[in-house]
Structure 1
């Protein structure tokens, strides 16, 4: 009778808040530190799952897809011929595990895997149209940087707020193929500090809200390269009023992302003029309770506002989906 838990307040019931806290904290940094012009860090924060009980441990596999094929400069789209890079298509798979030691303290680990295709004009110059382009492509499939995080959820009995803290470790390759620049490689080569928060509450018996933020800062340079700091925030609402045999909870969230320009080695020829951005996305989706132990989630990300330094490739939309097993 696991569906009966949803008749209680999702955010004010202590056991449910504990579960939700773990899911927000866990998935919120599952892809932290991806270096890409589109702002794929949009997946770093948000709400891909809701609790069904007070279970403490979980394993999840999240899938995200984006196709960067639209040139963007400043706050508007620009002619694709002005950008030597033509397309970056990526499938992200992130394996996530979480364990709570007690009501207040927990640990989590996230290991992303990338499948990326990259097409560029090797004789092109950013901001200039090349009349005789030399187009080449590269494909990479590789593990990315491992994330290890601690969490503290003991600010209140209902676990409605908490903090995360940890590191992104330099486990992914930084030079996986000759065409791949440092800012599009699976690994940054740096150890990054990760600090985050979350908070949640209830508007009514059926409406809940949540917010989250994560800040990332590279602690060192590697081979002359240091990714820019990033700040990712999200605010959203859930609607818990649909009663079916498979419990479905619609949700919608707004994600705002800022990333500073990289330092050194971002682009092999032109430095870091084409790095750094501000993005805002609207992300409708759903959380699906399949059984006592299984949950699913899906969201689509639609751009509301973009500002890109220089010329950068961005996607028209992005999607995320996943499956979670609760112990």
Structure 2
């Protein structure tokens, strides 16, 4: 009976989710004209969690194991909505690679769970003599398991699993006490975060050759941890700001039996993000928080290994290029101003359904 009620109301639920995604997506973009304080290193890596690559598909069943590689090289200082002088920011470069192993399991066409375990390498270069001369740029390296995500999903609003919601937690499993890294450049945030999201897919043409998709994800920290600060000699609290990411895109779904793959599906998508500024004594509220809009082309390759048992291998890759950025930026107590951004970011996902 419960399932029938969901199916009966699925049209209204889909409309509600689409409306919510549109409103929050609009908020992400419109908030660029508002004022909220900025981040010394504007990563906002939860942007990788939206868009192509991991949305549930109609033929998903049972288990799915996947690996992800994300790459970001933040080397340009950004002040407001334009590039700023590198000399204004004590931080010079942040190079990060995320290597993630994940498992998704659909108990049925309605309910599923997903877990992601990342391992992260980060090289952080900063001027330890800033703002004095001569500059003394040092690079600090950190390698650690990152913050684990555990999520549930409901995909029972439509028979083809085209509409769903996700909900879960990001756990504070990543290190946030590495030597030489500020709290906003640590691999782990030290916080427990609530994750809420929704997605929807649909057909543009009746032959299913052209499809569209939309997705939104909100990550809200709510439990925080203090860490020892060497400069003050005290334990200090750091509270990362919330982040909202939204994506919308178009997929061409009609390249079959090409280059040895059963299907190749190129796509283009727009990704919008809003990150609130950090707070707490260990934060830099003047230089944390941002709004951005990114253009991202991508492609997914599908190879059916066992059609009877639906054993399928997929490989997805995209490049995410900022087309608009506004960072909160102001001169802080140390005289530093601006945030480091990446001129592009890369995302890959390899998955196997079993």
Interval containing the TM-score (normalised by the shorter chain): 0.7 to 0.9
What is the match of residue 7 of structure 1? none
- How does the TM-score come out when normalised to structure 1? 0.84
Q: Is the 8 A contact 1:209 1:237 kept in 2?
A: yes
Cα deviation for residue 322 of structure 1 reads 2.3
Instruction: Supply the distance in 1 between the matched residues of 2:196 and 2:181 (Cα, whole angstroms).
Output: 29
Cα deviation for residue 123 of structure 1 reads 2.1
Matched, 1:256 2:269: no
Describe the superposition over 1:66-107 as per-residue Cα deviations: whole angstroms up to 9, x where unpaired.
111100010000111111101100111111101111221111
Describe the superposition over 1:182-208 as per-residue Cα deviations: whole angstroms up to 9, x where unpaired.
111111111111110011100012100
Matched, 1:39 2:36: no
Q: 1:200-215 residue pairs with structure 2 within 5 A?
A: 200-204=201-205, 205=207, 206-215=209-218
- How does the TM-score come out when normalised to structure 2? 0.77
**SS of the residue 1:155 aligns to:** coil
Matched, 1:274 2:316: no
Instruction: Supply the distance in 1 between the matched residues of 2:345 and 2:60 (Cα, whole angstroms).
Output: 32
Residues 54 and 112 of structure 1, relative CA distance in 2, 3 Å threshold? closer
Q: Is the 8 A contact 1:255 1:280 kept in 2?
A: yes
Describe the superposition over 1:132-161 as per-residue Cα deviations: whole angstroms up to 9, x where unpaired.
212111111110111100111111222221
1:48 maps to which of 25, 45, 53: 53
Instruction: Supply the distance in 2 between the matched residues of 1:187 and 1:302 (Cα, whole angstroms).
Output: 25
Instruction: Supply the distance in 2 between the matched residues of 1:90 and 1:200 (Cα, whole angstroms).
Output: 31
Residues 241 and 103 of structure 1, relative CA distance in 2, 3 Å threshold? closer
What is the match of residue 295 of structure 1? 314
Residues 319 and 290 of structure 1, relative CA distance in 2, 3 Å threshold? same
Matched, 1:239 2:252: yes
Cα deviation for residue 304 of structure 1 reads 0.8
For structure 1, which runs of at least 5 residues remain unmatched after alignment? 1-34
What is the match of residue 5 of structure 1? none
Instruction: Supply the distance in 1 between the matched residues of 2:272 and 2:172 (Cα, whole angstroms).
Output: 26
Q: Is the 8 A contact 1:119 1:135 kept in 2?
A: yes
Q: Is the 8 A contact 1:39 1:279 kept in 2?
A: no
Q: Is the 8 A contact 1:64 1:321 kept in 2?
A: yes
Cα deviation for residue 291 of structure 1 reads 3.0
Matched, 1:326 2:353: yes
Cα deviation for residue 117 of structure 1 reads 0.4
**SS of the residue 1:48 aligns to:** coil
Residues 49 and 272 of structure 1, relative CA distance in 2, 3 Å threshold? closer
Question: Computing the radius of gyration over CA atoms, which structure comes out larger, 1 or 2?
Answer: 2
What is the match of residue 234 of structure 2? none
2:113 maps to which of 86, 107, 113: 107
Cα deviation for residue 272 of structure 1 reads 2.0
For structure 2, which runs of at least 5 residues remain unmatched after alignment? 1-39, 227-236, 306-311, 330-337
**SS of the residue 1:42 aligns to:** helix
Q: Which has the higher contact order (CA 8 A, sep 6+)?
A: 2
What is the match of residue 4 of structure 1? none
Matched, 1:304 2:317: no
Moved over 2 A (4+): 38-41, 49-56, 290-293
What is the match of residue 88 of structure 2? 82
**SS of the residue 1:296 aligns to:** strand
Instruction: Supply the distance in 2 between the matched residues of 1:114 and 1:36 (Cα, whole angstroms).
Output: 16
CA RMSD of aligned residues (A): 1.6
Instruction: Report how many residues are paired.
Output: 285
Cα deviation for residue 290 of structure 1 reads 2.7
Residues 259 and 266 of structure 1, relative CA distance in 2, 3 Å threshold? farther
